[in-house]
């Protein structure tokens, strides 16, 4: 899941930490033969370094395969969109029931725009399994699985420009922002406030993806360096 630290010094040196949808490690024990996913390398439609966008609005999100995990990247995008959109159909494609979610997303965070780019994508072979860190149960990783690392950047309007209680000098364009509490019932909250406040996470997010019956599924998500180092060499 997206876990973002946003730190900035604008608007009076205010520092804000935004951690959205930070959940515990998600692993499902599933099995698949190497033959079922052996040609995974041929289904990487995007190259490392390409930047995509995910927002709270499907129409303004880059991916056109969210909800249809026909490639490893589509599976990762569907997985993240499930937690962002809390959409039953999208979540069902990942075997997730949004009714179990215990979080809510405030109006301010829904103004966010999330950029992501592929840092690395790799098909796991038998030799790779032996390189997985000791603190990760190797039975969770199978030859033919795919590992994708994404680095996320989050952008949102300056908070002191959209909340009356935080309004300060230097947070222009104040006149353009629809603020909270609402100052204009004909405008949506945050309308006119560009998402100029950005932060990039320190480490990439790692996703373990598996071909199950012709559809790719995210079976593991790691926010630490579990898969870093020798595994990628």
pLDDT of 34: 35
The answer to whether 72 and 146 are in contact (CB under 8 A) is: yes
Q: What is the dihedral of CA 218, 46, 68, 33, to 10 degrees?
A: -50
Find the mean pLDDT for residues 179-195: 67
Which of 14-23, 44-53, 167-176 holds the top average pLDDT? 44-53
Which of 34-43, 177-186, 211-220 holds the top average pLDDT? 211-220
pLDDT at 22 over 70: no
The answer to whether 75 and 217 are in contact (CB under 8 A) is: yes
Burial of 94 (0-12, 13-18, 19+ CB in 10 A): buried
The Cα–Cα gap between 189 and 181 comes to 9
pLDDT of 97: 94
pLDDT of 157: 84
pLDDT category, 188, cuts 50, 70, 90?
A: confident
Phi-psi region of 192 (alpha: psi -120 to 50; beta: other; left: phi over 0): left
pLDDT at 131 over 60: yes
Find the mean pLDDT for residues 169-193: 62
pLDDT tens column, 95-124: 999 988 987 777 778 889 999 999 888 898
The answer to whether 147 and 44 are in contact (CB under 8 A) is: no
Give the chain's mean pLDDT.
Answer: 74
- The helix (run of H) or strand (run of E) holding residue 129 is helix 126-129
pLDDT at 178 over 80: no
Q: What percent of the chain has pLDDT over 90?
A: 35
Closest by CA to 24, choosing from 101, 119, 122, 121, is 101
pLDDT at 21 over 60: no
pLDDT of 84: 93
């Amino acid at each position: 899941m997206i876990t973002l630290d946003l730190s900035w010094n604008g608007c009076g040196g205010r520092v804000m930490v935004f951690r959205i949808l930070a959940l515990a490690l998600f692993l499902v024990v599933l099995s698949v033969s190497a033959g079922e996913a052996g040609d995974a390398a041929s289904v990487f439609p995007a190259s490392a370094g390409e930047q995509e966008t995910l927002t709270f609005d499907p129409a303004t999100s880059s991916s056109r395969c969210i909800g249809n995990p026909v490639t490893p990247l589509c599976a990762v995008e569907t997985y993240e969109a499930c937690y962002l959109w809390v959409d039953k159909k999208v979540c069902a494609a990942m075997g997730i029931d949004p009714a179990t979610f215990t979080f809510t997303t405030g109006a301010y965070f829904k103004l966010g725009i999330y950029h992501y780019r592929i840092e690395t994508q790799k098909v796991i072979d038998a030799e790779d399994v032996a390189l997985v860190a000791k603190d990760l149960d190797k039975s969770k990783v199978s030859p033919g699985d795919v590992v994708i690392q994404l680095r996320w950047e989050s952008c949102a309007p300056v908070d002191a420009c959209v909340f009356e209680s935080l309004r300060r000098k230097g947070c222009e364009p104040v006149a353009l922002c629809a603020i909270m509490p609402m100052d204009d019932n004909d405008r949506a909250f945050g309308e006119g406030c560009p998402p100029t406040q950005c932060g990039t996470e320190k480490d990439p997010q790692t996703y373990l993806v598996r071909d199950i019956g012709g559809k790719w599924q995210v079976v593991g998500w790691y926010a630490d360096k579990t898969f870093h180092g020798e595994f990628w060499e």
